[in-house]
Structure 1
Amino acid sequence: MTTPDTLIPTDSQAAPPFDPDKAEAFAGSLLATLNAGGLSLMISIGHRTHLFDVLADLHPATSQEVADATYLQERYVREWLNAMTVGRIVNYDPASQTYHLPTEHAAFLTRAAKADNIASIFQHIASLGLVEDAIVRCFLAGGGVPYAEFTRFHAVMAEDSGQTVVAALEDQILPIVPGLVDRLKAGIDVLDVGCGSGRALNKLAQLFPASRLVGYDISEDTIAIATNEAQAAGLTNVRFQVKDAAQIDEVERYDLITSFDAVHDQARPNEVLRKIYTALRPEGGVYLMQDIRASSQVQNNLDHPMAPFLYTISCMHCMTVSLAEGGMGLGTMWGREQAMEMLAEVGFQQVELKELPHDIVNDYYVIRKGVIRKGGA
């Protein structure tokens, strides 16, 4: 057992001498992180106000010209432009007092960039700040922060998934399962677990009118959005229902079950996977699971390009919403190893792991419980 005495270094365990150069370098990295944090908020604002989109189409312009083009207040626009300037995101010409967004930067900051639009992701920083006080209370008292307290997180997630999932469904995601597109065209039964606002499922309903689609989500608000959008589009082959994924009670009902970034934040993900296994048809049934590309071991994520951000998302959303329900609190970075282990525990034995070039954040698991027949799903 570890005692306080064992934590005191002995002569043979003496701490290395203080390295002033290393300390100064670390202080510099902290200042860089602080500046990046400030820029994160400004980039989020630039995305939400469409400033980046307008700047991309403007020749070098004054702050007043940018404000006029965006119908925003010049004083705020000017301060934002100055933040972008010192952040080396926007170029500034002091002689003409004009600002310009380089095309190389616009390629990752505008809605026209589609899946490459990184600016939309910066909205998470501000949205998570809204629950910081509640998270701190959890550090002190335990428990978690429920979904209801996240006022913007799920809207941001819907926009993010629109870029990475919905836009890539037809050309990149569905083709990773051989024969699946043809089966969807012919007509099969589909369930999306944790469907959120239903963007992916409504897209599938439009693409494949012969298939019958169902979406389950625990949030009444997102199910209402999904239902309204389906009705507005005149879709009659899709329906949405408020349901806890751990309470799915169907048996061998679906040919295709999907979950997009929806397993790791469940209260009882093991039970959700078990219910999915039961609901999937054994003959030709496919479970397509998108989830975070990471290792279950932190030391293996040191070179992950988005690891600090994803662990932050985990601590301040995915882990805590699970703990709020008395759940396992797996967190965003549960990783491939734990995912494979949990899939095997519920009975899935045939799992193929796929990566897509447009998506550096997620893995795609093609999972079956029935016999794989040559040339089809």
Structure 2
Amino acid sequence: MAGMSSKKRCKGSLDTQEQDRDATEDFRDYMADVVSKGHTCLSIALGHELRLFDVLGDFDESKSCRVIAETAGCKEGYIKAWLRTMVSGKIVEVVENEKGETLFFLPKDRLSSLTSTENNLACLTRQVPIYSTVYPDVVRCVKKDGPNGVDYERFAALDVYWEETNKMMHNSRKHLSFILNQIPGLITQLENGTTVCDVGCGPGHRANLIAGMFPNTKVTGIDISEETVAIAKTKADELMLPNVTFMSADGTSLPENWAETFGYVTMSDVIHHVKNQEKMLAEVHRILTPGGVFSLFDFDVHERLADNYGKPSASVMYAFNLLYDLPASLGDDGESGEGHGHHGEVFAHGHAPDDGHSGDDKKPETVLEGHSLEEVCEGFEKPMNILRKVGFEIEIKQIAETLECHIIATKKK
């Protein structure tokens, strides 16, 4: 019996060792994939910025490297290196013609995910090379004897990038139609004419777009920053939109006479900056008509860290916090915050002063000043629970192009 027991233990030990070897090899393969995709990501960013995907998308047939380079106005040697990366990264396809020449083409079903004219994930790849410019500074900050943060001026390129991508996203009719179509019957309602409120409208991109697409609908945009409201008004005047108005207001204390005024309310990338979320969401409920719909857009991240295991949107957001939020918010005086803030301050509309929002505005109770990652990244479960509490019926959708979630809240009739 002792011998049998020893054999069983030996077999069990061998099985465990085999499992460990398999797990080690699997993780090694995973790491190789991470490294490979990291390099592919940088190359996609280059192609997106130089509009190389747009060039490929305009061709009706496969083309040589020389033709692609000439059309793009780039050096052939660099384009050859880029195309090799794109082929090995499964982004661009390659064929050989009868003469043995290597030709390249971009399948049409990939265009919307890569071209510079669309709001897509290729836009997000351009954050990565920008992070790399401050990477050595962040490394020094992480060390115990290093500086607390990085001078905000070092992140200037990131502000330019955000301005470009935000305009692309909020000015995209295709993107807006996609999210509106996630709510059955809403587009018909907007076409026939209803009332819309964009809470935390920033410079008015989305509010103006809705007003332009649906001339029978009256749109109101509100933002805590008077300077931002002025920018939104100017843009509306330039577009000659008579059906949109903008005003400065605190989302936690909207006009009393707005009760049951709006058929549709939208709020994008704002709620995670708000200290008193329950008060703001209760106000949204109050101004909606019975049966009205509220669209809340925010990070697609869960409250529990374990629930974010392997979740791409969470990886992107947490890296954003590590490589930008923390060092930027601690860069001026070293004591202003623990992340998610420009110079330690974030305003209720969800935009930083450098985005055309005044840093001198009176800060209402919605503002989080010097707030921590835990306060900001509580996950979409918190606002969802509040929405249910104040009287909404909830549905959630994912938006792959922006790594966001779309919480659709309907006010009970």
Normalising by the residue count of structure 1, what TM-score does the alignment of the two structures yield?
0.72
Partners of 2:322 and 2:101 in 1: CA distance: 43
1:202 pairs, out of 200, 208, 211, with 208
Structure 1 pair 309/367, CA: closer, same or farther in 2 (3 Å)? same
For 1:149-188, what aligned pairs fall within 5 Å after superposition? 149=156, 150-155=158-163, 157-158=165-166, 161-162=169-170, 166-170=173-177, 172-173=179-180, 176=183, 182=189, 185-188=192-195
Counterpart in 1 of 2:406? 364
Structure 1 pair 242/75, CA: closer, same or farther in 2 (3 Å)? farther
1:337 pairs, out of 369, 378, 381, with 381
Partners of 1:187 and 1:231 in 2: CA distance: 21
Structure 1 pair 111/287, CA: closer, same or farther in 2 (3 Å)? same
2:129 pairs, out of 110, 114, 126, with 126
Counterpart in 1 of 2:27? 26
Counterpart in 1 of 2:240? 234
Unaligned runs of 5+ in 1: 1-15
2:275 pairs, out of 262, 265, 270, with 270
How far the C-alpha of 1:33 sits from its partner, in A, is 1.3
Structure 1 pair 177/258, CA: closer, same or farther in 2 (3 Å)? farther
- Code of the residue aligned with 1:71 in structure 2: it is G
Residue identity (%): 21
How far the C-alpha of 1:354 sits from its partner, in A, is 3.2
Normalising by the residue count of structure 2, what TM-score does the alignment of the two structures yield?
0.66
For 1:1-377, what aligned pairs fall within 5 Å after superposition? 19=20, 22-58=23-59, 59-92=61-94, 96-103=100-107, 106-107=110-111, 109-111=113-115, 114=118, 117-132=120-135, 135-136=138-139, 139=142, 149=156, 150-155=158-163, 157-158=165-166, 161-162=169-170, 166-170=173-177, 172-173=179-180, 176=183, 182=189, 185-188=192-195, 190-209=196-215, 210-216=217-223, 226-240=232-246, 250-251=255-256, 253=258, 255=262, 256-264=264-272, 266=273, 269-271=274-276, 273-278=278-283, 280-281=286-287, 283-284=289-290, 286-302=293-309, 304=311, 306-316=313-323, 320-322=339-341, 324-325=344-345, 326-330=370-374, 334-343=378-387, 348-355=390-397, 361-367=403-409, 372-373=412-413
- Code of the residue aligned with 2:309 in structure 1: it is L
Q: Secondary structure at the match of 1:363?
A: strand
Partners of 1:312 and 1:248 in 2: CA distance: 34
Unaligned runs of 5+ in 2: 1-15, 327-338, 346-369
Structure 1 pair 137/111, CA: closer, same or farther in 2 (3 Å)? same
How far the C-alpha of 1:226 sits from its partner, in A, is 4.5
Partners of 2:225 and 2:28 in 1: CA distance: 44
Q: Secondary structure at the match of 2:39?
A: helix
Partners of 1:186 and 1:225 in 2: CA distance: 26
How far the C-alpha of 1:197 sits from its partner, in A, is 4.5
How big is the alpha-carbon RMSD for the aligned residues of Structure 1 and Structure 2?
4.2
Counterpart in 2 of 1:11? none
- Code of the residue aligned with 2:382 in structure 1: it is Q
Residue deviations 1:260-301, cap 9 Å, x none? 23322x1xx232552353364265364321223343222223
Structure with higher Rg: it is 2
